[in-house]
Structure 1
């Protein structure tokens, strides 16, 4: 039996003959100016069927030249020059490529030392960081994907091993230099696009592995609504189904537990009425046993007599089983109203019945396609199944340990996953279980994790079945509770922005979360800030992922802002480009908008409501011209593929004395846009004393001094017309130019546990320093007996662009030293010793002096050496780091 038609995707695997250069034993296919497929086969037999990764080789033929001279083949495009000794097996001496942009050269077999990483199958049993699989982007300008052993799709639409010569090779050369976004766009062109995620998926999810009953969940969801904590998805984990049986441990199950859910359809109807979607967690590995409701039908489908009670074994290679699995197990369960599936596959990685077939990949592929049978989007929750997994959003990163190290790793993992265009990650926000139980200060850790979740692709709060872990926001003390509430409401407010980024991911292959080097590839520092990322096209986020320091009572994060003007997203404070240390209380989330940024939001985010907003709030940040095309469609179907969507262009124009913000008329399928909507047009980071004009509507004006925002409210605006708000200054710039250092020092002093008299004295000195009345920091030495090294560091780093940071949240650890102000009174001493030597008995190698303007110290470079690094802050205190070669470095004592 073959698969159903909707389980077979549309392929276009045969390249245009004009793109092919061939010989007796080789074939090269020029897919784009930077992407070339290379095949070698002693029999001259080549593969035209789609592989698991590459589906669409029929691409527009790029300009290229192919020449042969003396048995040497040369293929040249505008971007690369490829050379090959014709008909010879691939080897370093026979196949090479030159990347013009960087001047780098690849030879067949070269180690990809510059690869910037991809992602990982799962974080199960991982605490902190772990090694990632290779990605598609390389710092040397090239990467190579080996496709030789990938399965291919046969005529019936299912995969099969290749019948190829043992020496056959099939590789894809990516020569993109630093054009990282181009690489992702071309990759999705040849491998399949990233589908649009449903709009409702971008809200907050509630998930817990627990023995919930339908009454308990109704009560819980109602409490979230009453607390004005918006949700859009209610997850049903493991125990929705019968677990007690005589056949296996109950991990696999397909029959509703009627003791917990006596009326599943009625319960799911209730969720839908509340505006919530739901998923069921499934573990398919055990197949279907006689105690399941679905057993008689699937047994007969497989030719098994149900009276025999012989189990229907799981077999990802058998299309008969796969078709029965969906038609007799999955589809009937969906009739109760299930919106999507959480495929929690944790078992074997290769099918015993077919070499090379990963059951996880098979489940992801078919479950995603099965949803399209009734025009729904191919949306699932499952672990990463390998390159090409971007076609099956979204990713479940696995059972996260509850620890600061696990939280710290997730921003890096999420951003780096974009290097294989797997951007739609869903993490266990708050963690699944603890290696040694719940840590002290869990409320702080949970709040910080939730803040990252608000600025991550999917915000799924999750908890394991541990009795003493409770993530209901109202169970925490007031500060944590307030932070969680603000965070959840912010997430729902951001849905218009997030959904537009989802469209860009589908349309252009540009992920929501992006490493800094995507937009600043020529800046070395962009490759060494794994703690931060672009959040869409307009924002940079560096969430706090470490607990507050006992000396300052504040969390600390290092932030790099690239050249240009920046504003704090929430306060509108202008921020200088460069490296900064940011200290913040529990409500602080380091997030920044670039000059000209436009961020559309829902002005009235509500529980269970993720639709196109009735109140559109637009945040605009002055300093540059910009446009933003707000995307809206029906939120669930695949009609977007036929152009059934609307866009509303938001436009900002800026000159120093004036800024204009325009909301243009909606275009396209405007039935997806409210006929009228209230507008809240907010220009953030500007002065209060500006003249405000409104063209095309009537509205009111109010200034918010805390957010430095001029807010224009226009009720019931006709979305088929445009409106412009103009802010003008009678003198100077509209931007609220200010030096916020003194305010930050005062915020810092309020949290320091030092004598109040010392705080007043420090305030006086800091005020004089900010005013330029003194430029030295000698006055800090007066407080040496009262300040710890960390406290002195915080004051200096807040006043000056100078500091040190130990970044240990990625695969490679590094220390950053910076001194943007060129100060000579902040010094460092780096001592290195042969491993095992005692520093007091040997001089070793010592570097000392004022902090450099920028120093990136990769700890791998200290392999085999013991080392210490001390930074002295104006004779007021110091901080020290130390480590051992070939061992984890750690932050040492503060002296």
Structure 2
């Protein structure tokens, strides 16, 4: 930012950060704040040309996209307004100061106790073309205070201080510039992208070890485990209050914590412990003597160390005397379970925000690239302290129905790493279909953390489910670990380019009304479009229906290779073990080989499978792999004109497994030169293939027959439908015949397959 980007009057200041982003301040004192705040940590943007017209009683600021009108008086609806210029999607939209926002929403602090949907806060993007980020109440940030631990302090002056986002339908650009303003998301450690196991349950060292053994016996991969609050003493003498807060291992359950934690590390697992810090540290705690000495407490009368992160002495002791010794025993990160409101001794300071700030920064100092916390959302800017714990939802279909929308929409406020309680947390009732669908959603969530309450009757262990649900859940958890190469690459993209892993569907075509009618559909990285099943299957047809919007172009079902012509909304039908996932023509998707996706940990795989879908021109994907601060990239390029695949490996190859192998897996009809659908490839090699559009009619007929056989309906209806599906005739002719022969659900199941057949012929 240069001084030329600021227009300052006696009581106002405008800072033109980009052609679509303007900071607007009004201060009766004529003083303005230039320091960092809890939300905004950077105002240095590249300079650019814009126009300022300064009249005695009026100020006009004109950029490529905005025209600001201001009467030089206290901000008011009539005296401050902004016209949006160069709008392709909106007709002369104008924002007036103080008007209610109509954004596409952002996120919420928590889902604790929620059954279904809740209102969400505002986001940065809107179909009206504008939004506001109000920073007036943010405290000032001093990252160097308290020996580098940081601190916040009140603003010395009261002023109106907000940022006008006028990006119209350029949603990704708005999000990118928000990250420039507030900080880019940190890189989430690779281990956090695998499966997590968590349960509120009084495990013992022996029972937890046996549990891990059973996961291994069932070939279920895990990378992270959370030990809920029963790791510490909870049954404490009455004079100390309740046992929710605790920092002393329960030695009856865990007699040798370092040994226990080391055994989990030896299995390739990372470990988090749950803490409820609100009650501070009381006299029965192991750490109390250390803290009492540092803080000068009255130990004779068992004076507690009250929770107070504003106090620099308590802050230092909180980490050095309380948390660091536990980390030295083997704790990798902390699950901060703050549920005690938003007030501290400092006006405007949310204790949750302060906990996230201090804990994450402390984790960075001690663990570097493996820094992580698990905590609730504390407002804009919280994306700098990943990851989010959304809280204790009810186990109901309504809660599942809300969760994809909730998770994807959070990206509108830059919050891309929500960790939901997969499978739900509490209440509800036992429903194996619901749990399976929730775990399938977890595969395509930012974080896949299974968790539940302490009820004896709520279980997420796959072996507690009946067949076939048990095996389908295992398949889902294995599928998550197969995605690790793809996930980590998009983790890097989020950190370096400011594009969250998950984005609502409308980011692809913001001018298309249909894209806004599928709230549970989202992009999962650059190459996957996911529409998770969130409703019960038809008891008669044993399929679930999901409405899907497909953007322009050709799309392929990721699991079946069926082709779909896009630019349409279509009902798709999936069996219990299926999730609607689509990839665009030409997609290249890196996966871990199936036999390696059964192991604990998140180590770089020995074999990368590159799944290649039919396309045109030249398509590529660059896989990013990091280890100990070093990086290696592997790029597969597919040229559909010359029918050649090439692999290029660059960077520090020492980070890769010594026996790294790459396998190209062709989908949708393309085959290697030896007429197989798989072929090994080495770095620097060009591999020839034969790319031709395969006739999938037989596959689609087989699927039609499977669906018809599975239906619990009359044999005569089945025979009529099957005869129509096998017969000749155009799509309209067959559709008309189907409508006469069967009910709408049955017709829909068949129409999807007929649509795919038509799509492959285009």
Q: Tell me the TM-score range normalised by the shorter chain.
A: over 0.9
Q: State which of 514, 525, 534 in structure 1 corresponds to 2:523.
A: 534
What is the CA–CA distance in structure 2 between the aligned matches of 1:61 and 1:765, rounded to whole Å? 65
Whether 1:121 aligns to 2:113 is no
Q: 1:178-224: per-residue Cα shift (whole Å, max 9, x none)?
A: 11111111111111110101111111111110010011111111111
Contact 1:551–1:790 (CA under 8 A) maintained in structure 2: no
Q: Aligned-pair distance for 1:771? A: 6.0
Aligned to 1:610: 602
User: 2:663 aligned with 1:680, yes or no?
Assistant: yes
Q: After TM superposition, list the pairs within 5 Å mapping 1:730-809 onto structure 2.
A: 733-736=692-695, 738=697, 742-768=701-727, 774-775=733-734, 777-778=736-737, 780-781=739-740, 783=741, 790-792=745-747, 794-795=749-750, 799=754
Contact 2:15–2:24 (CA<8 Å) still a contact in 1? yes
Partner of 2:46: 60
Q: Which residue of 2 aligns with 1:670?
A: 653
Cα contact 1:582–1:798 (8 A) shared by 2:
no
Structure 2 equivalent of residue 485 of structure 1: 474
Deviations 1:64-89 (A, max 9, x none): 23221243222222222222223x11
For 1:95 and 1:653, locate their aligned partners in 2 and report how far apart those are by CA, in whole Å: 54
Task: Choose 185-194 or 152-161, whichever is displaced more.
Answer: 152-161
Partner of 1:233: 224
The answer for the alignment partner of 2:209 in structure 1 is 218
Structure-2-length-normalised TM-score? 0.94
Matching residue within 54, 65, 77 for 1:92: 77
Deviation (angstroms), 1:374: 2.8
- The aligned residue for residue 810 of structure 1 is none
Distance 2:246 2:337 in 1: 12
Moved more, 521-530 or 77-86: 77-86
How far the C-alpha of 1:675 sits from its partner, in A, is: 4.6
Out of 496, 502, 505, the residue aligned to residue 491 of structure 2 is 502
More displaced 10-residue stretch of structure 1: 321-330 or 505-514: 321-330
Secondary structure of the 2:546 match is strand
1:592 aligns with 2:559: no
1:660 aligns with 2:633: no
- SS of match in other structure, 1:21: strand
1:95 Cα deviation from its structure 2 partner: 1.4
1:415–1:514 contact (8 Å) kept in structure 2: yes
- How far apart, CA to CA, are the structure 2 residues paired with 1:170 and 1:797? 52
Structure 1 residues 622 and 772 mapped into 2: Cα distance closer, same or farther (>3 Å)? closer
How much does 1:536 deviate? Answer: 0.3
Aligned to 2:269: 276
More deviation, 244-253/63-72: 63-72
Deviations along 1:628-680, whole A, 9 cap, x unmatched?
Answer: 2211111xx6x4xxxx422222212224xx6433221x222333233541111
1:543 matched to which residue of 2? Answer: 532
Between 68-77 and 172-181, report the one with greater CA deviation.
68-77
The answer on whether the counterparts of 2:172 and 2:507 sit within 8 Å (CA) in structure 1 is: yes
The answer on 1:319 being equivalent to 2:312 is yes
Tell me which of 637, 645, 651 is aligned to 2:637.
651
Q: After TM superposition, give the deviation of residue 301 of structure 1 in Å.
A: 2.1
CA distance in 2, matches of 1:347, 1:123: 15
SS in 2 for 1:278: strand
Q: Residues 428, 575 of structure 1: CA spacing in aligned structure 2 closer, same or farther, 3 A cutoff?
A: same
Measured in 1, the distance between the counterparts of 2:47 and 2:441 equals 43
Does 2:609 match 1:631?
no
SS in 2 for 1:222: helix
Contact 2:57 2:71 in 1 (8 A): yes
Contact 1:26 1:39 in 2 (8 A): yes
C-alpha change, 1:673 and 1:76, in structure 2 (3 Å) is farther
On the 8 A contact 1:568/1:593 being kept in 2, the answer is yes
Contact (CA 8 Å) 1:286, 1:313: kept in 2 or not? yes
Check the 8 A contact 2:108/2:120 in 1, yes or no.
yes
Secondary structure of the residue aligned to 1:256 is: coil
Assess, with a 3 A threshold, how the Cα gap between structure 1 residues 317 and 221 changes in structure 2: closer, same or farther: same
**TM-fit CA distance, 1:475:** 2.4
Aligned-partner SS, 2:415: coil
Change (3 A) 1:533 1:44: same
Question: 1:532·1:543 contact (CA, 8 Å) conserved in 2?
Answer: yes
TM-score relative to the length of structure 1: 0.80
Structure 1 stretch displaced more, 426-435 or 281-290: 426-435
Distance 1:797 1:574, change over 3 A: closer
List per-residue Cα deviations over 1:371-400 (Å, max 9, x = no partner): 122342431111111100100111111011
Label 1:219 to 1:702 Cα distance change in 2 as closer, same or farther (>3 A): farther
> 1:134 matched to which residue of 2?
122
Match of 1:454 in 2: 443
Please say if residues 383 and 416 of structure 2, whose CA atoms lie closer than 8 Å, have aligned partners that are also in contact: yes
- CA offsets per residue over residues 467-502 of structure 1, 9 Å max, x none? 012221122222111211111111101000000000
CA–CA distance in structure 2, aligned partners of residues 364 and 680 of structure 1: 42
Contact 1:659/1:734 (8 A) holds in 2: no
1:702 and 1:457 map into 2 onto residues whose CA distance is: 37
The structural deviation recorded for 1:797 is 5.9
Q: What corresponds to 1:563 in structure 2?
A: 552
Kept in 2: contact 1:317–1:357 (CA 8 A): no
Query: Is there any run of 5+ residues in structure 2 with no aligned partner, and where?
Result: none
Look up the match of 1:524: 513
Query: 1:204 aligns to what?
Result: 195
What are the within-5 Å matches in structure 2 for residues 216-365 of structure 1?
216-246=207-237, 247-351=240-344, 353-365=345-357
Among 578, 581, 585, the residue aligned to 2:571: 581
CA distance in 1 between counterparts of 2:363 and 2:735 reads 66
* Range 408-417 or range 605-614, more displaced: 605-614
Of 662, 677, 689, which aligns to 1:727? 689
Aligned residue among 687, 712, 718 for 2:679: 712
Q: How far does residue 41 in structure 1 lie from its aligned partner after superposition?
A: 0.9
RMSD between aligned residues: 2.1
Structure holding more helix per residue = 2
Secondary structure of the residue aligned to 1:413 is helix
Bigger drift between 565-574 and 312-321 goes to 312-321
Q: Which runs of 5+ in 1 are unaligned?
A: 1-14, 694-700, 704-709, 802-819, 821-895
Deviation of 1:541 (Å): 0.6
- For 1:773 and 1:401, the matched residues in 2 are separated by 44
Distance 2:221 2:264 in 1: 14
Distance, in Å, in 2 between the alignment partners of 1:251 and 1:37 is: 43
Bigger relative CO (Cα 8 Å, ≥ 6 apart):
2
Q: 1:779 to 1:303 in 2, by over 3 A?
A: closer
**1:573 to partner: Cα distance:** 1.6
Q: Distance in 2 between matches of 1:774 and 1:518?
A: 36
Counterparts of 2:4 and 2:694, CA distance in 1: 55
**Displacement of 1:766:** 2.4
Q: Deviations over 1:673-729 (max 9, x none)?
A: 335411111121125xx5x34xxxxxxx574xxxxxx21134xx4xxx322222225
Post-superposition offset of 1:739: 8.2
